[in-house]
């Protein structure tokens, strides 16, 4: 929820400065600086809101270094709404010049334009131009792009036992970079007896715009999604970064992570092929501290016979991906990624499940830099494969 200045001050004053959140804050652990801790940031926000401190570059730097991982919020005994505080501080105080670049907006808003961009980028990859220095900025982080999918608006289930109807959120990053997970989700939902609706007018969840303090843009995107999903069907998300943002700001709708929904379905009519191997799970912060439904991923994967489902050590700490953070705060993002890669190495992980495309891209880049051969999959892809689904 976004707060007004008086409400921000009131919420910040609920922090009793106990410091219990400090050991849970990745940026505090790395810098040792109070100003980069949740307690310190809350005091800074309050001081700026009360005109005690200036809204200057130093203040902004401490806000920008926050990952919005909300580990502090989960640890806080006083339930201080840190997520709302940081979103509001960014919206109220982050200088306008840092807001979402105007050139990026049309692509984020329009699936058609995004698909045109994907086709062009795919061509540069196929011609090898990306390796010749043609790749710029975020495009250097892109995995091998697939042909964009023209999603149908309905995927009816052919199962004899109909269980109901749901709607699926495509998300700009997922439909561009992770269409296999969307296809796998439709496959599993149909197999379980759910018709899947894919509203054509849906758009980006607005989380990146919000992270950059661009209130007008995130509100416009939310309004379009509110209208697109007016049917009242549950909205299932496959990227927890989008799911957490929609659940927080589209409160009139029932938003659920796909794994949380699937874990609670009736699986008695389906048979999953056994998977006799260890499946490690990385908990995205948006699932763990935002939607608080990370346990459902383990419950879902444990439905696969013989799969040994194990938590990746250090799961409480953000991987450093954090939406656009991996681009805007690359030093801290790399430090946190190194910790994640060390866990993967120490536990000899060969298959890692993650529910967020942002984490997946960030970790995949780190693994590639180390020539590590680890399969990174969305949990629903792993489940779908045991039902006979294959990636395109």
Closer by beta carbon to ligand SF4, 66 or else 297: 66
Confirm or reject binding of residue 19 to ligand SF4 (CB under 6 A): yes
Q: Closer CB to ligand SF4, residue 135 or residue 316?
A: 316
Q: Are 130 and 143 in contact (CB under 8 A)?
A: no
Interface segment toward ligand SF4; rule CB under 6 A; list 22-30, 111-119, 261-269, 377-385: 22-30
Indicate the residue among 201 and 338 with the shorter CB distance to ligand SF4: 338
154 burial class (0-12, 13-18, 19+ CB within 10 angstroms)? exposed
Task: State the minimum distance, in angstroms, from the CB of residue 36 to ligand SF4.
Answer: 8
Instruction: Candidates 1, 4, 16, 273: give the one binding ligand SF4 (CB under 6 A).
Output: 16
Provide, rounded to whole angstroms, the least separation between the CB of residue 243 and ligand SF4.
17
When the beta carbons of 66 and 380 are compared against ligand SF4, the nearer one is 66
Which residue in 3, 8, 11, 38 binds ligand SF4 (CB under 6 A)? 38
Contacts with ligand SF4 in 59-118 (CB under 6 A)? 66-72, 75-76, 78, 80, 82
CB of 49 to ligand SF4, least distance (A): 16
Q: Is 33 in the site for ligand SF4 (CB under 6 A)?
A: no
Judged by beta carbon, residue 71 or residue 179, the one nearer ligand SF4 is 71
Site for ligand SF4 in 133-172 (CB under 6 A): none
CB of 30 to ligand SF4, least distance (A): 10
- Tokens representing residue 73 in the block: 């919020």
204 binds ligand SF4 (CB under 6 A): no
Least distance (Å) between residue 66 CB and ligand SF4: 3
Binding site for ligand SF4 (CB under 6 A): 15-21, 24-27, 38-39, 41-42, 66-72, 75-76, 78, 80, 82
């Amino acid at each position: 929820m976004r707060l007004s200045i008086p409400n921000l001050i009131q919420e910040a004053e609920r922090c009793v400065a106990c410091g219990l959140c400090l050991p849970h804050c990745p940026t505090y652990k790395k810098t040792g600086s109070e100003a980069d801790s949740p307690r310190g940031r809350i005091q800074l926000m309050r001081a700026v809101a009360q005109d005690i401190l200036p809204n200057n570059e130093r203040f902004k730097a401490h806000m920008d270094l926050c990952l919005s991982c909300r580990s502090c919020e989960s640890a806080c005994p006083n339930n201080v709404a840190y997520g709302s505080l940081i979103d509001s501080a960014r919206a109220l105080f982050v200088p306008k010049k840092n807001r979402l670049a105007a050139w990026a907006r049309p692509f984020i808003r329009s699936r058609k334009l995004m698909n045109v961009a994907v086709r062009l980028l795919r061509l540069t990859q196929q011609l090898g131009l990306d390796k010749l220095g043609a790749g710029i900025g975020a495009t250097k982080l892109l995995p091998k792009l697939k042909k964009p999918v023209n999603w149908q608006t309905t995927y009816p289930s052919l199962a004899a036992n109909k269980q109901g109807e749901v709607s699926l959120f495509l998300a700009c990053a997922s439909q561009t970079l992770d269409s296999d997970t969307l296809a796998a989700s439709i496959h599993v939902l149909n197999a379980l007896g759910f018709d899947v609706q894919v509203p054509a007018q849906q758009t980006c969840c607005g989380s990146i715009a919000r992270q950059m303090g661009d209130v007008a843009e995130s509100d416009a995107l939310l309004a379009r999604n509110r209208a697109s999903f007016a049917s009242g069907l549950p909205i299932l998300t496959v990227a927890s970064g989008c799911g957490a943002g929609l659940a927080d700001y589209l409160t009139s709708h029932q938003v659920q992570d796909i794994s949380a929904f699937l874990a609670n379905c009736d699986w008695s009519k389906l048979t999953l092929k056994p998977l006799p191997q260890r499946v490690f799970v990385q908990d995205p912060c948006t699932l763990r501290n935002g939607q608080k439904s990370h346990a459902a991923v383990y419950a879902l994967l444990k439905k696969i016979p013989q799969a040994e489902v194990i938590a990746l050590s250090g799961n409480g700490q953000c991987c450093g991906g954090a939406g656009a953070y991996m681009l805007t705060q690359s030093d801290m993002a790399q430090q946190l990624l190194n910790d994640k890669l060390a866990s993967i190495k120490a536990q000899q992980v060969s298959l890692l499940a993650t529910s967020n495309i942002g984490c997946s891209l960030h970790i995949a880049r780190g693994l590639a830099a180390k020539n590590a051969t680890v399969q990174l999959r969305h949990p629903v892809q792993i489940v779908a494969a045991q039902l006979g689904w294959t990636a395109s």
